[in-house]
């Protein structure tokens, strides 16, 4: 390939994977002298080579490995590039920490045509079954396949496959019993008008003066736990989550409601509760009813900083966040059975 796949941050949550869906393919290969020298030399000692090879064999067994370049100019980290041949040709990038003597990450980039050759048949069957309920319009079109392994990062997933399409992605978390998470993003002009109107009303009901128009509706499904439409703008400042099956509103967020200057202002402003438990219930009960159909009678309240959690045994939980004025700018309903649909 004339272009080299480059490392991207794959350490966000769906819901930040969430929610930009298009793969970041290739940036032009740097042409600096240092990089060109590293490409030609590929100087790696035996121990480092063994560690890199072992990591690759873990995620791509039985393939032939060729290291093509190493960049040691990245602070505290080396970047190693290479190719795989065998089941399906691919390129890879590994990050090696010379101080800790370990491979921090391995990402392999396959073309979509290699999917059937490298993806386990059981996983292919699982994907096909998942798409029957998620992608009834048959719009999911694979364009690339990545195998990703970040064993030491704090957040999940760490060990997974991701299939990319244009504004689409499907992720298989190998550490969570092959749980599949997928999303398809559509422009707001093509979204369900009923849900769009519902999302606009929900956002307006928070009473935060400043808003921004929704730009996308993202169909999102995570195993059997969640199947929703997420209405959002490009920067995720305004967000409304609606059940794909039930049409129920599950969350409403307007980040413009935040009114503290910095972390110190936040800590100072919420060192003591802005609202008492009774005041919090009084402030949110009308919104809870109109947005979620939730009656807060008999609910208890716990307070942490600006976060208010409303709970009742056997009933849904309501999570709310307030600003310095005591106004709720974020409300989310957590179903008692944990399933949003």
As a whole number of angstroms, the distance between CA 69 and CA 44 comes to 10
Mean pLDDT, residues 281-294 taken together: 97
As a whole number of angstroms, the distance between CA 256 and CA 237 comes to 7
As a whole number of angstroms, the distance between CA 25 and CA 13 comes to 20
Interhelix angle 277-292/193-205, rounded to 10 degrees, is 160
Cβ pair 216, 232 in contact under 8 A: yes
Q: Tell me which residue has tokens 């590039």.
A: 81
Q: Tell me which residue has tokens 């998470």.
A: 181
As a whole number of angstroms, the distance between CA 198 and CA 189 comes to 15
Q: 303 has which bridge partners?
A: 308
Burial of 97 (0-12, 13-18, 19+ CB in 10 A): middle
Residues 261-276 have pLDDT tens digits of 999 999 999 999 999 9
- Per-residue model confidence (pLDDT) at position 270: 97
Residue 20 has which token pair? 């930009």
Mean pLDDT, residues 79-100 taken together: 96
**Which pLDDT band holds residue 75 (cuts at 50, 70, 90)?**
confident
pTM, two decimal places: 0.85
Pairing of strands 179-187, 168-173: antiparallel
Nearest of 173, 174, 191, 190 to residue 182 by alpha carbon: 173
What's the distance, CA 308 to chain centroid? 25
- Per-residue model confidence (pLDDT) at position 44: 86
Indicate whether 226 pLDDT > 80: yes
As a whole number of angstroms, the distance between CA 179 and CA 160 comes to 10
Indicate whether 174 pLDDT > 70: yes
Average pLDDT, the chain: 89
């Amino acid at each position: 390939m004339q272009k080299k796949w480059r490392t991207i941050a794959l350490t966000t949550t769906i819901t930040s994977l969430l929610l930009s869906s298009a793969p970041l393919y290739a940036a032009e290969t740097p042409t600096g002298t240092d990089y060109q020298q590293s490409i030609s030399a590929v100087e790696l000692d035996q121990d480092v080579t063994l560690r890199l090879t072992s990591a690759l064999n873990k995620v791509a067994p039985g393939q032939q490995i060729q290291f093509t370049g190493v960049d040691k100019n990245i602070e505290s980290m080396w970047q190693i590039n290479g190719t795989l041949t065998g089941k399906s040709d691919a390129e890879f990038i590994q990050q090696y920490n010379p101080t800790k003597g370990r491979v921090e990450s391995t990402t392999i980039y396959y073309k979509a045509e290699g999917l059937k050759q490298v993806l386990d048949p059981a996983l292919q069957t699982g994907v096909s079954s998942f798409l029957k309920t998620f992608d009834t319009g048959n719009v999911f079109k694979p364009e690339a396949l990545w195998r990703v392994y970040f064993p030491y990062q704090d957040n999940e997933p760490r060990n997974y496959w991701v299939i990319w399409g244009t504004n689409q992605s499907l992720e298989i978390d190998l550490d969570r019993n092959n749980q599949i998470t997928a999303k398809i993003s559509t422009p707001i002009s093509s979204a369900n008008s009923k849900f769009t109107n519902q999302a606009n009303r929900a956002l307006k009901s928070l009473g935060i003066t400043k808003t921004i128009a929704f730009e996308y509706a993202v169909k999102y499904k995570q195993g059997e736990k969640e199947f929703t439409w997420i209405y959002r703008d490009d920067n995720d400042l305004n967000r409304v989550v609606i059940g794909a099956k039930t049409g129920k509103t599950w969350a409403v967020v307007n980040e413009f409601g935040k009114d503290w200057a910095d972390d110190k202002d936040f800590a100072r402003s919420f060192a003591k509760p802005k609202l008492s438990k009774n005041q919090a219930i009084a402030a949110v009960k009308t919104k809870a009813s109109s947005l979620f159909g939730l009656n807060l009678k008999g609910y208890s309240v716990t307070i942490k900083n600006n976060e208010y959690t409303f709970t009742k045994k056997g009933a849904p939980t309501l999570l709310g966040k307030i600003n310095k004025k005591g106004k709720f700018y974020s409300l989310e309903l957590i179903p008692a059975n944990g399933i949003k649909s």
